[in-house]
């Protein structure tokens, strides 16, 4: 059975003290009321070690929002997958559209990052998704397939099992516009079909595919009720404990 997951992506929003406070609050809330799904929070690098020390690792997973495409050495300002892992983190988000667009991360760069993350024992939340222009030209399927082929379909089936896919239509990220549950289900089913074509039906059945893009407590139940939507990658609504918990609780409905 594939995992149901709600993962937060804090992005560049909270300072260290605010991040620790939010992690503690979430840890307390989920200790008091156990979630019905896996919960992960992905934080800026500087938060990782401190946040790891306040989380119950059996209750909440921890991840980074990025890692370097090089193993180690003279790369000023970069943070390697090994360093991420050494903080206690178990996950890393790779391929987020903001990294692809603002930091020019290409499929080849992402392929290297994925390999290094896996080699260092991290699970990868790999983001794919089309722009508004591509959706309007009805190119969403070819875009997501190319993103998978470009950076993760080179993996063995054993390594691919450590990948969580996050479908995030770029036009829905931080815009308040959510894909309808039907739109999301249609492309999630297509993505699962691509995985089945490449790795077989069993691997596809076991792959968690998260939806991301203005997901909140009010729309999560409808999205998560769809058969191919296995949870969410949450940006804005992961920055307040009550908002994030509201989405986690969607798995209880
Ligand atoms: C994201 O950037 O991963 C995301 C889903 O953001 P938001 O929930 O704010 O749209």
CB atoms < 10 A from the CB of 169, how many?
28
pLDDT, tens digit (0-9, with 9 covering 90-100), for 22-68: 999 999 999 999 999 999 999 999 999 999 999 999 999 999 999 99
Residue 14 has pLDDT above 90, yes or no: yes
Domain ranges in the chain? Answer: 5-252
Phi-psi bin for 72: left (phi > 0), alpha (psi -120 to 50), beta?
Answer: beta
> What is the bridge-based pairing of β-strands 91-94 and 61-64?
parallel
Which of 98, 219, 235 to mutate to test ligand 1, by most ligand atoms within 8 A of the CB atom? 235
Q: 5-252 is classed in which CATH architecture?
A: Alpha-Beta Barrel (3.20)
Alpha-carbon distance of 21 to 229, in angstroms, equals: 30
Nearest-CA residue for ligand 1 atom 4 is 235
Burial of 10 (0-12, 13-18, 19+ CB in 10 A): buried
238 CA: nearest ligand 1 atom: 8
Cα 145 to Cα 68, 112, 128, 201, 234, distances in angstroms: 24, 18, 9, 17, 22
Question: Has 168 been annotated as catalytic?
Answer: yes
pLDDT, tens digit (0-9, with 9 covering 90-100), for 196-253: 999 999 999 999 999 999 999 999 999 999 999 999 999 999 999 999 999 999 998 7
pLDDT, tens digit (0-9, with 9 covering 90-100), for 58-105: 999 999 999 999 999 999 999 999 999 999 999 999 999 999 999 999
Q: What pLDDT score was predicted for residue 25?
A: 98
The answer to whether the CB of 137 falls within 8 A of the CB of 146 is no
pLDDT, tens digit (0-9, with 9 covering 90-100), for 144-194: 999 999 999 999 999 999 999 999 999 998 888 888 999 999 999 999 999
As for ligand 1, residues whose beta carbon falls within 6 Å of it are 9, 168, 173-174, 212-215, 233-237
- Active-site residue, selected from the candidate residues 65, 98, 147, 168: 168
Question: Has 96 been annotated as catalytic?
Answer: yes
Alpha-carbon distance of 106 to 77, in angstroms, equals: 19
- Active-site residue, selected from the candidate residues 96, 98, 185, 188: 96
Mean pLDDT of 99-121: 98
Nearest-CA residue for ligand 1 atom 3 is 235
Phi, psi angles (nearest 5°) of residue 54? -105, -5
Residues linked to residue 40 through DSSP beta bridges, in sequence order: 7, 61
Phi-psi bin for 149: left (phi > 0), alpha (psi -120 to 50), beta?
Answer: alpha
Task: Give every CB contact of residue 112 below 8 A, 6+ residues apart in sequence.
Answer: 69, 70
Nearest-CA residue for ligand 1 atom 6 is 235
Alpha-carbon distance of 176 to 172, in angstroms, equals: 7
């Amino acid at each position: 059975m594939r995992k149901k997951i709600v993962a937060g992506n804090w992005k560049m929003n909270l300072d260290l003290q605010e991040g620790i406070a939010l992690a503690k609050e979430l840890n307390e809330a989920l200790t008091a009321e156990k979630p019905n799904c896996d919960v992960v929070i992905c934080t800026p690098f500087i938060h990782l070690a401190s946040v790891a020390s306040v989380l119950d690792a059996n209750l909440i997973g921890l991840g980074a929002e990025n890692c370097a495409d090089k193993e180690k050495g003279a790369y000023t300002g970069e943070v390697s997958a090994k360093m991420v892992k050494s903080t206690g983190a178990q996950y890393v988000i790779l391929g987020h559209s903001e990294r692809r667009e603002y930091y020019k991360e290409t499929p080849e760069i992402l392929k290297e990052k994925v390999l290094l993350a896996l080699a260092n024992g991290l699970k990868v939340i790999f983001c794919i998704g089309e722009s508004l222009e591509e959706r309007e030209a009805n190119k969403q399927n070819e875009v997501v397939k190319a993103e998978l082929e470009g950076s993760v379909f080179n993996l063995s089936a054993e390594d691919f099992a450590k990948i969580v896919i996050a479908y995030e239509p770029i036009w829905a990220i931080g815009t308040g516009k959510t894909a309808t549950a039907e739109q999301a289900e249609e492309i999630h089913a297509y993505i699962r079909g691509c995985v089945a074509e490449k790795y077989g039906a069993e691997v596809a059945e076991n792959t968690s595919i998260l939806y991301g893009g203005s997901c909140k407590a009010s729309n999560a139940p409808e999205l998560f009720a769809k058969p191919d939507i296995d949870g969410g990658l949450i940006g804005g609504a992961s920055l307040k404990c009550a908002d994030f918990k509201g989405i986690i609780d969607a798995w209880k409905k």
